Amino acid sequence: MNENYTLQLKLLHGFSNRIRYAILMSLKNGEQNVTDLIETVGGSQSSVSQHLACLRDCGLIEKRNEGKYYFYRLTTPKIVQLLDLLNETISDFHWDEATEILKCKHHMD
């Protein structure tokens, strides 16, 4: 089998950044606009907007326009399941989170 896993890796890319992950966690609670997300996850409007564009490109979120505002939501409830599974799986690992993240040469902020 010669799979290149392109689509799977594109999906996982959306989860691989702290701000993007925080946005996804926030959107678990329902649709939000950019202002709400900036308050929830921190960061500048420019930074949050760039991460939202990435999440859209990865297929994890979609936006809708209402007047002059854009509202973002998860594209499928399965993303909530993935987030929950990731958070549950952490308990299966026996590491000191801060130490292990610093050792990882490929982590992204």
Asked if residues 28 and 64 have their Cβ atoms less than 8 Å apart, the reply is no
pLDDT digits 0-9 by tens, 56-91: 999 999 999 999 999 999 999 999 999 999 999 988
Q: Give residues with Cβ within 8 angstroms of 46, minimum separation 6.
A: none
- Nearest partner of 41 among 60, 57, 27, 31, judged by Cα: 27
| CA–CA gap between residue 72 and residue 64 (Å, rounded) | 7
Going from the N-terminus, what domains does the chain have, and what CATH number goes with each? 6-103 (1.10.10.10)
What does the pLDDT look like over 10-62, one tens digit per residue?
999 999 999 999 999 999 999 999 999 999 999 899 999 999 999 999 999 99
pTM for this structure? 0.83
